Amino acid sequence: MSRILALCIALWAVAVPPVWAQEFSGLARIDADDSSVTDAGREDVQIDLGLSQGIPYRLFMLDGPPRLVLDFQEVDWTGLQADDLDRSERVLQAQFGAYVPGWSRMVLELVAPMKVETAALDIDEVTGGAHLSVSLVPETPELFAANAGAPYDPRWDLPEPALIKRPVARGDEAPLVVVLDPGHGGIDPGAEQGEIAEKDMMLTFARELRELLLRSDGFEVVLTRDTDNFVSLERRVSLAYQAGAGVFISIHADSLSEGLAHGATVYVLSRDASDVASAKLAERHDREELLSGMDLSGTDDEVTGVLLDLARQETQPRTEALAKALVGGMTNTGGPMNRRPMRSAAFSVLKAADIPSVLIEIGFLSSPRDFKNLQNPEWRAAIAQGIRNGLQNWREADAAKRPLIRQ
């Protein structure tokens, strides 16, 4: 036990042979041909990763679902495909990519609880190349649960979400602070269609929308991420508070096989989803968060939940008016809109209690028509204008209602 624990929390700093030092860029590259996740023996799993140089790494297990998390100093994953890497029947899914700046992460979702039997990083003294070999063996669910959890280390972990404070009260003349939240990022690619990942597409669109809003009067814009990095759902909400957001807009273009998923759709938060497809979409976003190696154990707090629900009831009419205004704006600039353009589900990213928050699927990557539109800068510009017009209309209507609410 103690040996395994020590293995799990230790950090290996590996010196690079000095003769090669000048040739290293500092960024380790993955060698796809030398990397695999395979079944070994009757019950074990063998993980092999080829790297262009030795780098510090750590590994630990997370529960619910059982996952192995491998953190590395930044790795360039170019050339590695999850499907080619994972050849094991005992590993459901492999995911890897950027985590926090300077650090990379790989997460393997396991069929059943396992533990690290051995882990070793070998450096080739001649080439400087490195090989990480990890073997996993079955573990009882009880012991697995007892030992699972992310060790805290400020060098590796996401910053703690900031203390939640209420948005700063502003006069009606003050610019509207719009927090744009490009979906997914880093280790979490979101939906994928061929070479195109939702995370990249949404970052591009968020930047375009930011430019348009800044060129229009009366907006301040903050992005929850402006790079290809992972940002937890909780942190996205906390960033909105930090920015003093007047409005929070999460932007997505997911794949959805259920129902007729095409056309722009605006989602608002609701415990009860408006339809099965919306519920699946919200569940999938939470699941993608888990597969990115988030430790969500013990985050449910029913009392806090009830208090937040009360605050949300007050925000709800403003949120719904915002959603309607956005649907109206996008419809006027050409859509195309979903046949039911306003829907609801329990999206974790929309849980800010007193900031009107919506999630826009500007299209669906799974729809051939939307996929084509999403890659067309002119179409994106029209959708961005629709969102801008919607925000302007909502701001006016909201300001007109304000004095009534305050009395």
Q: Name the site residues for Zn ion (rule: CB under 5 A).
A: 183, 190, 252, 254
Residues ≥6 apart with Cβ < 8 Å to 48: 34, 35, 36, 37, 38, 131, 132, 133
Q: How far is the CB of 394 from Zn ion (least distance, A)?
A: 23
Q: How far is the CB of 377 from Zn ion (least distance, A)?
A: 21
* Residue placing its CB nearer to Zn ion in the complex, 66 or 190: 190
* Residue placing its CB nearer to Zn ion in the complex, 252 or 318: 252
- Which residue's Cβ has the minimum distance to Zn ion? 252
> Concatenated DSSP letters for 15-51?
PPPGGGGGG--S-EEEEEEEEEEEEETTTEEEEEEEE
Q: How far is the CB of 344 from Zn ion (least distance, A)?
A: 16
Residue type, 137: V
Q: How far is the CB of 190 from Zn ion (least distance, A)?
A: 4
* Residue placing its CB nearer to Zn ion in the complex, 337 or 349: 349
Nearest-CA neighbor of 183 among 233, 245, 242? 233
* Residue placing its CB nearer to Zn ion in the complex, 265 or 385: 265
Q: How far is the CB of 30 from Zn ion (least distance, A)?
A: 25
Q: How far is the CB of 15 from Zn ion (least distance, A)?
A: 41
| Distance in angstroms (rounded) separating the CA atoms of residues 358 and 394 | 13
Q: How far is the CB of 254 from Zn ion (least distance, A)?
A: 4
Structural tokens at position 3: 């040996």
* Residue placing its CB nearer to Zn ion in the complex, 84 or 208: 208
Reduce the DSSP state of residue 126 to 3 states and report it. Answer: coil
Q: Which helix (H) or strand (E) holds 204?
A: helix 198-215
| Distance in angstroms (rounded) separating the CA atoms of residues 111 and 106 | 16
C-alpha angle 102-107-108 in degrees, rounded to nearest 5: 155
CA–chain centroid gap for 144, Å, is 26
Reduce the DSSP state of residue 310 to 3 states and report it. Answer: helix
Reduce the DSSP state of residue 104 to 3 states and report it. Answer: strand
Whether residue 5 contacts residue 60, with contact meaning beta carbons closer than 8 Å, is answered with no
Measured CA to CA in angstroms, residue 11 lies from 14, 17, 69, 116, 187 at distances of 10, 19, 14, 15, 21
Q: How far is the CB of 159 from Zn ion (least distance, A)?
A: 23
Q: How far is the CB of 265 from Zn ion (least distance, A)?
A: 12
* Residue placing its CB nearer to Zn ion in the complex, 338 or 393: 338
* Residue placing its CB nearer to Zn ion in the complex, 76 or 192: 192
| Distance in angstroms (rounded) separating the CA atoms of residues 252 and 267 | 11
* Residue placing its CB nearer to Zn ion in the complex, 150 or 239: 239
* Residue placing its CB nearer to Zn ion in the complex, 246 or 363: 363
Structural tokens at position 51: 């790297």
Q: How far is the CB of 255 from Zn ion (least distance, A)?
A: 9
Give the Cβ contact number of residue 159 at 10 Å: 10
* Residue placing its CB nearer to Zn ion in the complex, 210 or 252: 252
